Structure 1
Amino acid sequence: MFVSLFCTLKSVSNEVKKWRPVGADRGFTFLQYNLTIAYHRTNLLARYGRWSANSNGGVLETLGFKEGFRVDVDVPESTWMQAPGFHDILILNTGHWWWAPSKFDPVKSPMLFFKKDQPIIPPLPPDRGLDMVLEHMIPYVEERERSGAIKFFRTQSPRHFEGGDWDQGGSCQRNQPLSTEQVEELFSVKNNGTNVEVRLVNEHLYKALKGSSFKILDITRMSEFRADAHPSTAGGKKHDDCMHWCLPGITDTWNDLFIELLNSIKGRS
């Protein structure tokens, strides 16, 4: 979405300077309009890092944990910690990594959640950990946002692996959009398929955002149909890339939707 937005803006103005706000992975300022856009990479929104058992023991050690990933549910990742106080428009999202056994193996390297610098006991499953992170990160932004800021939370970008996950021989070889029936077969929570995390995470997002001042940027449903819009074998990976999107493509439509929502909000103000 960020790359698509940059390309759209650059088609209007070539007076661009590379400049990154604190923590941003990428950033550009369009000098003619004094407009800065930035991409702050964060996988879980919350701060996380490797955890290993202490030789002196501890609560987690007594439960048999030897290693894993510590996730501080009440501390934002440093990459975006200062973003709410800098940007006038924010688009947040999180999701794929919460249901990623290849990243956080539930046995060998589980997610271990901490709050106020102490492990949460009993240990939480990832879905409950996601709830707690959202419970803390949403008000974190609201308490630090700039005056008049507009905030969106983007729903999940669907993957389209068929026949297994990315490391299990899964592929995406379709050359046309899915039918409604095919979408339900691939993404239905009841089927518990490879790509089920899309709707599962969205359920948690909608619940957490209820009553907040965030606007929801729902890109999921339209994107579920586009199994044909991924790089697939042209992604330059050893496996089919069924998660990222081709450009030009569906992410341009996401930005069209974003601009329409932005205009409707500004029109009411």
Structure 2
Amino acid sequence: MFVSLFCTLKRVPGEVKKWRPAGADRGFTFLKYNLTIAYHRTNLLARYGRWSANANGGELESLGYKEGFRVDVDVPEGTWAEALHFHSILIFNTGHWWWAPSKFDPVKSPMLFFEKGRPVIPPIPPHAGLDLVLKHMILYVEKEAKPGTIKFFRTQSPRHFEGGDWDQGGSCPRSNPLSSEEVEKLFAIENNGTNVETRLVNQHLHKALKGSHFHILDVTQLSEFRADAHPAAAGGKKHDDCMHWCLPGVTDTWNDILVALLNGIETSRSRF
């Protein structure tokens, strides 16, 4: 989405300079318009890192845990924590990593959640940890963002692996969009397929965002049809890339939706 947005804005006359706000992975400033866009990479929104058992023991050690990943549910990851004091429009998303056994093996390297510096006991599964992270991060953004900041949470970008996950020989060879029936077969929660996290995470997002001042940037449903829009075998990887999107393509439409929402928000504000 960020690359698509940059390419769209780059068509406007004027000098563009590479410049990254604190914590950003990449960023650009359009000097004529005093406009900066930046991408702040974060996998879980919350701070996380490797955890190993203490030789002196502890609450997790007493339960048999030897190693894993510590996730501080109430501490934002440093890559974006300061972005709230700079940007006037914020777009958040998280999801894929929460259902990623290749990243967080539930046995060998589980996610271990901490709150107020102490482990959550009894330990909770990733989906419950996601709820805690969303609760704390939404509160943090609501409190720390500049007055008047427009806040979005983007729904899940669907993957289209068929025949297994990315590391199990899964592929996305389709050359046409899916039918409604094919979409349901691939993404319905009750089917518990390879790409099930798309709708599962969205359920958690919608629940967490109720009562907040976030706008929902819903890109999921329209994107679920586009199994034909991934790099697939052309992605230059050892496996099919059925997660990222080709450009031009689907993410351009996401930005069209974003612009429409921004126009609607601006119109609404101008009435008061």
**Do both share a fold (TM > 0.5)?**
yes
Q: 1:188-232: per-residue Cα shift (whole Å, max 9, x none)?
A: 000000000000000000000000000000000000000000000
Aligned partner of 2:199 in structure 1 is 199
Aligned partner of 2:228 in structure 1 is 228
Q: Which residue identity does 2:164 align to in structure 1?
A: G
Aligned partner of 1:265 in structure 2 is 265
Aligned partner of 1:158 in structure 2 is 158
Q: Which residue identity does 1:2 align to in structure 2?
A: F
Aligned partner of 1:12 in structure 2 is 12
1:217 aligns with 2:200: no
Q: Which residue identity does 1:135 align to in structure 2?
A: K
Q: 1:137-196: per-residue Cα shift (whole Å, max 9, x none)?
A: 001001011121100000000000000000000000000000000000000000000000
Percent identity between the two aligned chains: 77
Give the 5 Å matches for 1:1-269: 1-269=1-269
Contact 1:13 1:30 in 2 (8 A): no
Aligned residues: 269
Partner SS for 1:47: strand
Distance 2:31 2:23 in 1: 21
The answer for unaligned runs of 5 or more in structure 1 is none
How many angstroms does 1:84 deviate by? Answer: 1.1
Q: Which residue identity does 1:229 align to in structure 2?
A: A
Q: Which residue identity does 2:97 align to in structure 1?
A: W
Q: 1:58-100: per-residue Cα shift (whole Å, max 9, x none)?
A: 1101101110000000000000001111100000000000000
How many angstroms does 1:14 deviate by? Answer: 4.3
Distance 2:250 2:55 in 1: 50
TM-score, scaled to structure 2: 0.98
Distance 1:59 1:140 in 2: 28
Q: 1:34-57: per-residue Cα shift (whole Å, max 9, x none)?
A: 000000000000000000011111
How many angstroms does 1:8 deviate by? Answer: 0.2
Partner SS for 2:50: strand
